[in-house]
Amino acid sequence: MLELQHISWTAPDGSQVLRDVSLSIPEGKLTVITGPNGGGKTTLAKIIAGIETPDSGKILLDGEDITPLNVTERARQGVSFAFQQPVRFKGFTVRRLLELASGGKLSTDKLCEMLSRVGLCGREYLNREVDATLSGGEIKRIEIATVLARHTKLSLFDEPEAGIDLWSFSSLIDVFQSMRGKLHGTLIIISHQERILEIADELVVISAGTLQKKGPAAEILPQLMAGSPQCGACARREAVFA
């Protein structure tokens, strides 16, 4: 379980982005953190991953205080983070990337199995470079495969829908639904897309740097769809939040 205790963070320009955010995220469930743009979602994700350090507060993973740990140390403790825009590596093959994520050599059959879980044919992709020849949807799925290869306690995805086409987005929904049914840890997605919110077990609403709501998606989502003023500027469109 991930527990955040009184997390606050101030940007270099002096603006306070997060204000005393406290919440517990259970193991074995898909939790989506949502809210309007600029509300603090991505900053919270970076703080969980260790990319940013909070001004105050603690982060506990399975009861252990990981607040002092940097991003590499947190990765060793079982935290995986997928960026909005995955990094591309010219000269670095998909096979090598997956083996690096898993920590050792893997058979072709095992690698193909990993890629098939994210909707890709392994034999077509294993020897391709992780570079600009891959589409946004392809690179997103490969990044998800690297997270699956690590078998971490906590998998965190920051706006996985960013920069991909509608068809690839539909495929990503299928991937997350599959992951949701086979969770052996904690899965967190930062998103404001309605279709991702619909597959969540738990929803967390962050707006203006504060925790607005948290609870089962069946209770919170109807409030967002209705445009509850307590949850910020909501609208029923492709994106829930403007």
What is the residue-level pLDDT of the chain in tens, covering all 242 positions? 899 999 999 999 999 999 999 999 988 889 999 999 889 999 999 999 999 999 999 999 999 999 999 998 998 888 988 876 666 777 889 899 888 888 888 888 888 888 887 778 878 888 898 888 888 778 888 888 888 777 778 989 888 877 666 767 777 788 788 777 666 778 899 998 888 999 999 999 999 999 999 999 999 999 888 864 444 433 343 445 54
Mention every residue, 6+ apart, whose C-beta is less than 8 A from residue 222: none
> What does residue 180 show for φ and ψ, rounded to 5 degrees?
-60, -35
Q: How far is it, in rounded angstroms, from Cα 182 to Cα 29? A: 10
**How many other C-beta atoms lie within 10 A of the C-beta of residue 17?**
20
- The CA distance from 196 to 239, in Å, is 10
- Residue 230 DSSP label: G
- Distance, CA of 217 to CA of 8 (rounded, Å): 25
pLDDT at 234: 38
Residue 232: the pLDDT is: 43
Q: What is the DSSP letter of 35?
A: -
User: What's residue 227's pLDDT?
Assistant: 65
3-state helix, strand, coil in the chain (%, to 5): 35, 30, 35
Report the pLDDT value the prediction gives residue 233, as an integer from 0 to 100.
38
pTM of the model: 0.82
Q: Report in angstroms the alpha-carbon separations of 36 from 162, 168, 171, 189.
A: 15, 23, 24, 15
How many other CB atoms are found less than 10 A from the CB of residue 208? 15
Which two tokens mark 51?
């990319």
The span from the CA of 194 to the CA of 188, in Å, is 15
The pLDDT score that the predictor gives to residue 121 is 81
Quick one: pLDDT at residue 239? Answer: 45
Closest CA to 18 of 4, 2, 1: 4
Q: Which pLDDT belongs to residue 214?
A: 94
